[in-house]
Amino acid sequence: MGRYVIRRLGQMIVVLFGATVVLFCTLFILPGDPVGSLGGDKARDPAVVAELRERYGLNDPLPVQYGNFVKNLAQGDLGEDFTQRRPVTEILQPKLVNTAKLAIAAIIIDIVIGVLAGLIAALFRYSFWDVLITLLTTFAVGFPSFVIGMVLQKFFVVDLGLFPLISDGTLNSMILPAFTLAILDAALVARLMRGTMLEVLRADYVKTAVAKGLPRRTVLLKHVMRNSIIPVVTYLGISFGTLLGGALITEAIFNWDGIGLALVQAVQQQNNPIIIGVVTFGVAVFVLLNLIVDLLYAVLDPRIRLA
Amino acid sequence: MTELTKSDAGAGTAQTAAVPAEAEPAIKRITQWGEIRHRFMANRLAVVGLIIVGLLLFAAAFAPLLAPYDPLHQDLANTLASPGGEHLLGTDALGRDQLSRIIYGARIAVIIGLASIFLACLIGVVIGALAGYFGKAIDSVLMRVADVFFAFPLLIGAIVIIIVMGRGVAPVVISLAVFSWPTVSRLLRSSILSVREADYVLAARALGAGTTRIIVRHIIPNSIAAVMAYAAFSVGSAIVAEAALSFLGVGVSPEVAEWGNMLSAGRDFLGVKDYLWVYPSIAIVLTVLGFVFVGDGLRDALDPKLR
Amino acid sequence: MRGAKSAKWVVGAIVVALAATACGGGNDNKGSDAKGGGVFRMGITEPTAIDPVNAQESEGMVIARALFTQLYDVSVDGKLIPKLAESGTSADGKTWIFKIKSGTKFTNGEVVDAEAFIRGWTRVAAKASASDVSYHMAGIKGYDALKGGKSDKFAGLSAPDANTLKVELDKADFEFDKKTAHAAFSPVPKVAGAGDNKKFNDAPIGNGAFKMKGSWNHNQSISLVRNDDYGLEKAKLDGVEFKILNPANGSQLEYTGFQSGEFDYARMPTPQLPVAKAKFEPQGEWYSADFSGINYLVVFNQNAPFNNPDARKAISYAIDREAIAKSVFQGMQKPATAFLPPSFSAEYQAGVCSTCVKQDKAKAKEFAAKGGLKPGTVVNFGYNTGAGHEEWVQAVAQQLKDVLGVEVKLDGKPFKEALATQQEKKTSGLWRSAWTADYPTADNFLAPLLSTAGIGEDPATGKAQGDNRSRYSNPKFDELLDQARQEKDAAKRAELYKQAEKLAIDTDQAVVPLWQRTQYRLVNTKKFDGIKMDFFEDPTLAEISLKK
């Protein structure tokens, strides 16, 4: 197990390395001087451009720049942003907290709604509730988050005025974006839960447990739940990583001050340090989560042996 | 089961992963397809999906005949006209006919959806087949490459590519494909891993069949089911991703009649002229549902055990 | 503006009549008025900086100007309002003497004297500050040495006595005093330190009508409170709360926030302006003003197909500004018929761009034929994305197609890439652009945008580093600007600027003016009196008071 973790961590570094190299090269071939302009139509004073290029080492060849980036990254330093000239980590940190808040809220919604709905649908198969849940989850998959977000905004903010349009990080302003982010995953979790649970219920060991005369409760909790939850855990682990992608849209719609919105803006402004910072971080989290999920998987399913 | 495929659930088609472990030998292919078709047509939602997809393809193919107006024709004397009258779905801020733009938008959706998934499958099948069949070092290298691309959340990766290539249909197709193929590879590889040891492959090998023949005649046909179901499902996802890119202002050029563009432009009128974003939203949702239904139906038809 | 750097400043004499009376009244007012109070709340987007060392966009300026008081202020119509200057005189236009009001202090108790101004200006121009606003000082002697890091003293600045600031310019400039109203020309206390003093950057200590309450809470908020020791007429408000909004839909948030009572002042998204106007104008909460700016098309003068004035005129004639203003802008933009804004009352000439006055399809075709702009010609039309230009550029493109039969290729790019493309020597076609004045002088439009010096071509790369990206170059125009600058008489000077504008815009059609710069705001007149906007498009915070 220990060796497995070390091997995986090693792979993770390779992936991270590959991703940042790709990103660095990509940004390097973009037209336009990263410190060449101000916010509007005006060009920057050539003297200022020269000073900033010198300060941020933009005149160095790409491998040198990349080397410096890696060296700084190892010390937890993502460099300075070119506009406000503040450390990228300082700029991103509060945004990261905001995105994490949103993602955790979404995951909680996924678990509560998804698992419950899947459970009900599976236990009361072919009942009214099963049909309803199956239908709802099927349709939910078809609604892209930007459509859901705009519909929620239209009804709950513009028409009913129940929630503020300006997200200020409070719980109240978090509800709509969290739901928008969660709906698709909640639906998929419900479908997944229903599917695996039906399979598990048919499995021999459950039949044996029931035949042994174990109480229904024990069978459900110890055997059925434990085995049905594995794919859900996998799925949630993955989706926590992909939530970053989802957060891009959700944060843009609800103006949530997270790293997704920061990325969208940085792309518009070609603010390379922010782009690199967000993407590097996103990829690292994604890869790390995959590892955790795999480990958890092994814990939950004793048949899996990691090597 | 020592290797875990993290992609399976991520694609939203968790059940497809383990598909053809015990699929019937390829010899019975004709009757097998007949039966698959029968099972597919018996699934009501799948048929509805097929009809929607058919209508979409029809609209895309015959857009010039169906659209009442030129989708690019501006009528500055008749801007922001409400639905009804001469313009069934109203006009936008430049007086362009919304209905015509939605019909023409089907073209972009179909082209980008199909082309990107086709490209992703092409790359994915080749790499997945190589990795799955040869295993060992080749597998390891190819899968690490897949990891790098897989580690980029789709939207973020796509944005990065579009920054470099510029906006347009081709960059969108390529960027979606580049970050989707790893899923296909993983699906194929994992199913090959299980098929490789299946009796009929062992039998074929015992009969002296060559490697290429085994891959092409036996392994791919039996592993491809998972890929096909994934592909059908993913066309919908690709269309959503493409609309999301336009929504974020990095998709196809804003003058193109495309649903994401329409949604993005209509967003400024939230609460004032809602029809501007509602109709394109409906078009997107219906399309995605169509492909999801077809994908689900295909999956169930290919592997009846799963439901 | 950047062009000012290369401007040729002129010999002559000018005495700015300074109404010492205008600020005298303020002194007697100390603490006498009891109607003070109230907190004014508004939304802004995250500024680049609020320290005058690098405050640049209107969001940063509104705070920098509340925290710091300069020699002058400017009203929305471009009039200088003396603040700390008791007088500002120049005999030859090259040496300026500013008498500074004595006895005012920074909020930490340090004295505001001539040294404080020298300190502030030097700090902006220093190499290490890498300030984006330092170019405003480019005409002052010793600027290049300071900017280039060869000196740490501003050679052109000196203090003959504590309250006298002497400024020496490289070339005569009779309008230099107008420049000093910019926030970059603020005095700073000794504690300011170098330009990259992060502590001071986030919580500047100034001499303004307001002071910081705490420090800048990045991406969240900035709070100001009244400076009760202010040396001039004190503010009436207790404080100002700036809530920092995401730029993605800042105006939407401001608008909604105003309606729900969270803000006292708000912008609105362009598509919602008509609805907002209908609702708030009857209640007296609608505010509109014309500003010193212009929306126009850069036309790349040196490359085909627009290296011919007739081809450029064809473009201008083909555009129906009125129709687009009415439809796409829903009546909220006014077509421009001149390049200089109406707020420059001495120089403004309505209709000087004769091709702008009315769309004329016949003339457009006639000029196109004369200028070799054949139907089917490919015309590149660039714009920067994500700034709300997507719709109207499509409308303009369509009109060009319809009238001239040219093939317009729209090219949207994020702004850094857009800028790089515009600067390239080989770029051809049209580009959307806009300009707002930094100080109320005609020169601030004509020199950077239309003079040969404004091109600022980098000899190595051929890039246009200046703001004249049309690369219009006419020796006669440059000469008229020179003459204008040498003219000490304001009326005659205005006349020369008018001739220069007519030559560049009407005769040569160097660029294509499109719309004037009009701004709309919602203001909470139910609660506050005296909300107005200044030249920099910000509310005049110091003059706002709670309604009695």
Q: Per the CB < 8 Å rule, is A42 touching C2?
A: yes
The beta strands (E) that lie in C169-307 are given as 210-212, 221-226, 239-245, 265-266, 286-299
Q: State whether A11 and B144 contact (CB < 8 Å).
A: yes
pLDDT on residue C144: 92
Q: Is the pLDDT score of C295 beyond 80?
A: yes
Per-residue pLDDT tens over the stretch A48-100: 888 888 888 888 888 898 898 889 888 888 888 888 888 999 999 988 888 88
Query: Residue C9: is its pLDDT beyond 90?
Result: no
End-to-end CA distance of chain C: 42
Torsion on CA atoms C154, C157, C158, C164, rounded to nearest 10: -150
Structural tokens at position B133: 């069949």
The string of pLDDT tens digits covering residues A168-195 is 667 888 899 999 999 888 988 898 888 8
Instruction: Enter the DSSP assignment of C525.
Output: T
Of C179 and A252, the structure prediction assigns the larger pLDDT to: C179
Burial class (CB in 10 A: 0-12, 13-18, 19+), B211: exposed
In this predicted structure, the answer to whether residue C157 has a pLDDT above a threshold of 50 is: yes
> Within chain A, which residue ranges are assigned CATH 1.10.3720.10?
91-300
pLDDT digits (tens, 9 = 90+) for C16-59: 333 333 333 333 343 444 456 899 999 998 898 999 999 988 88
| Cβ–Cβ gap A32/C49 under 8 Å | no
Which of A18, A153, A303 faces B148 most closely, judged by CB atoms? A18
Question: Could you report the per-residue pLDDT of B110-147, keeping only the tens digit for each?
Answer: 999 999 999 998 998 888 878 877 777 888 888 878 87
Residue C445: pLDDT above 80?
yes
Which residues on A lie below 8 Å from C257 (Cβ)? 165-166
pLDDT digits (tens, 9 = 90+) for C324-337: 999 889 899 999 99
Instruction: Compute φ and ψ for C213, nearest 5 degrees.
Output: -110, 105
Task: Between B273 and C311, name the one with better pLDDT.
Answer: C311
Partner-chain contact C421 A31, CB within 8 Å: yes
CA of B76 to nearest chain A CA: how many angstroms apart? 27
- Tokens representing C334? 């006014």
Contacts of A255 in chain C (CB under 8 A): 245-246, 248-249, 253
Chain A residue closest in CA terms to B269 = A154
Closest CA in chain A for residue C144? A47
CA distances from B283 to A126, B48, B249, C473 (A): 31, 15, 19, 52
> What are B138-162's pLDDT values in tens digits?
888 888 788 777 767 778 778 878 8
The string of DSSP codes covering chain A is -HHHHHHHHHHHHHHHHHHHHHHHHHHHTSSS-TTSB-SSSPBPPHHHHHHHHHHTTTTS-HHHHHHHHHHHHHTT---B-TTT--BHHHHHHHHHHHHHHHHHHHHHHIIIIIIHHHHHHHHTTTSHHHHHHHHHHHHHHTS-HHHHHHHHIIIIIIIS--S-SS--SSHHHHHHHHHHHHHHHHHHHHHHHHHHHHHHHHSHHHHHHHHTT--HHHIIIIIIIHHHHHHHHHHHHHHHHHHHHHHHHHHHHHT--SHHHHHHHHHHHT-HHHHHHHHHHHHHHHHHHHHHHHHHHHHH-TT----
Give tens-digit pLDDT for C192-221. Answer: 999 989 999 999 999 999 999 999 999 889
3-state secondary structure of C130: coil
pLDDT at residue A1 greater than cutoff 70? no
- In this structure, of C103-107, C357-361, C488-492, the range with the lowest mean pLDDT score is C488-492
Helix (H, G, I), strand (E, B) or coil at C513: strand
Nearest to A118 by CA among A195, A182, A31: A195
Amino acid at A137: T
Cβ neighbours, 10 Å, residue A108:
12
Our CA-based measurement puts residue A283 at a distance from the nearest CA of chain C, in whole angstroms, of 24
CB B138 within 8 A of CB B84: no
Is pLDDT above 50 for A28? yes
What would the two tokens of residue C69 be? 């008081």
Supply the pLDDT for residue B52. 94
**Token digits of residue C540:** 């005049």
**Hey, are the CB atoms on A245 and B153 less than 8 Å from each other?**
yes
Residue ranges in chain B assigned as alpha helix (H) = 7-10, 29-41, 44-61, 63-66, 98-134, 136-151, 154-165, 169-178, 181-196, 199-206, 211-213, 220-247, 259-267, 275-302
* Partner residues linked to C293 by β-bridges: C436
Q: What is the pLDDT of residues B247-286, one digit of tens each?
A: 887 888 888 899 999 998 888 888 888 999 999 999 999 9
Calpha distance A52→A34 (Å, rounded) = 10
Helix B29-41 crosses helix B275-302 at what angle (to 10 degrees)? 140
Burial of B95 (0-12, 13-18, 19+ CB in 10 A): buried
Strands lying side by side in the sheet with C95-100 = C14-16, C85-90, C95-100, C164-168, C157-161
> Looking at beta carbons, which pairs linking A79-83 to residues 24 or more positions away fall under 8 Å?
A79/A273, A79/A276, A79/A277, A80/A56, A80/A273, A81/A271, A81/A273, A81/A274, A82/A34, A82/A35, A82/A52, A82/A56, A82/A271, A82/A272, A82/A273, A83/A39, A83/A269, A83/A271, A83/C48
Q: What is the pLDDT of residue B230?
A: 80
Please tell me the number of Cα atoms within 13 Å of A41 on its side-chain side.
25
Structure tokens at C92: 């030859």
| The two structure tokens encoding residue B117 | 């998934």
B30 band by pLDDT with thresholds 50, 70 and 90 = low
How far is Cα C386 from Cα C390, in angstroms, rounded to an integer?
A: 8
- The pLDDT, as a whole number, for residue A168 is 66
Most confidently predicted of A206-220, B221-235, C248-262: C248-262
Note the pLDDT of residue A205.
80
Q: In Å, how far is A265's CA from the nearest CA of chain C?
A: 8
Say if residue C187 is preceded by a cis peptide, omega within 30 of 0.
no
> C253 CA to chain A: closest CA distance, Å?
6
The verdict on ipTM greater than 0.85 is: no
Helices B154-165 and A259-269: crossing angle, nearest 10°? 10
- Exposed e or buried b per residue across C368-403, where buried means at least 16 C-beta atoms within 10 angstroms of its C-beta: beebebeeebebbbbbbbbbebbbbbbbbbbbbbeb
Tens-digit pLDDT profile for residues C382-393: 998 777 888 899
Residue of A nearest to C49 (CA): A84
Selected residue of B147, B245, B287 to mutate for chain A interface (largest A Cβ count, 10 A): B147
Q: What is the mean pLDDT of residues C166-177?
A: 92
Judge contact between C510 and C470, C-beta under 8 A: yes
Neighbour count for residue C322 (Cβ, 10 Å): 14
Q: State how far residue A15 is from chain C, nearest Cα, in angstroms.
A: 29
- Mean pLDDT score across all residues of chain C: 89
Residue A26 in this model has a pLDDT that exceeds 60: yes
Query: What pLDDT sits at residue B282?
Result: 94
Rounded average pLDDT over C488-505: 94
Give buried/exposed letters for C9-24 (b at 16+ CB in 10 A, else e).
Answer: bbebebebebeeeebe
Positive or negative, the Cα torsion across A244, A248, A253, A258?
positive
Partner-chain contact A244 B267, CB within 8 Å: no
Beta bridge partners of residue C16, listed in sequence order: C88
Q: Which amino acid is at B163?
A: I
**C308 reaches A (C-beta below 8 A):** no
Percent of all residues in chain B with a pLDDT value above 70, rounded to a whole number: 83
C194–chain B Cβ distance below 8 A for any pair: no
**Helix H or strand E segment including C434:** strand C430-436
Do residue C467 and residue A86 have CB atoms under 8 angstroms apart? no
Is C40 in a helix, a strand, or coil? strand
Q: Sorting pLDDT into bands at 50, 70 and 90, what band is C452? A: very high
Write the DSSP assignment of B235-291 as a string of letters.
HHHHHHHHHHHHHTT-SS-TTS--HHHHHHHHHTTTTTSTHHHHHHHHHHHHHHHHH
Nearest CA in chain A to B1: A304
pLDDT at residue C14, as a whole number = 34
pLDDT over 70 percentage in chain A: 92
Q: Which residues of B touch C386 (CB under 8 A)?
A: 249
Task: Give yes or no for residue B13 having a pLDDT over 60.
Answer: no
pLDDT digits (tens, 9 = 90+) for B58-82: 999 999 999 999 998 898 888 888 8
Name the DSSP letter for residue C39.
E
Domains with residue ranges and CATH for chain B: 33-75+88-302 (1.10.3720.10)
pLDDT at B151: 66
- Contact criterion met (CB below 8 Å) for C410 and C398: no
Average pLDDT over residues C396-409: 95
Determine whether the interchain pair B167/C412 forms a contact, defined as Cβ–Cβ distance below 8 Å. Answer: yes
Say whether pLDDT at C7 is over 50.
Answer: no
Chain B residues within 8 A of C394 when measuring between CB atoms: 74, 94, 254-255
Please answer yes or no on whether B76 and C323 come within 8 Å at the CB atom. yes
Closest among C210, C243, C173, C237 to C447, alpha carbons compared: C173
pLDDT at C220: 86
Domain A91-300 part of CATH 2.70.98.60: no
Q: Rounded to an integer, what is the distance from CA C378 to the centroid of its chain?
A: 34
DSSP state of B306: G
pLDDT surpassing 80 at residue B1: no
User: Which pLDDT band holds residue A304 (cuts at 50, 70, 90)?
Assistant: low
Residues of chain A with Cβ-Cβ distance to C196 below 8 Å are 85
The confidence score (pLDDT) of residue C243 equals 92
% pLDDT > 70, chain C: 93
Tell me the average pLDDT across C351-358: 95
What confidence score (pLDDT) does residue C207 get? 96
pLDDT confidence of B31, banded at 50, 70, 90? low
Q: What are the structure tokens assigned to C477, written together? A: 């125009």
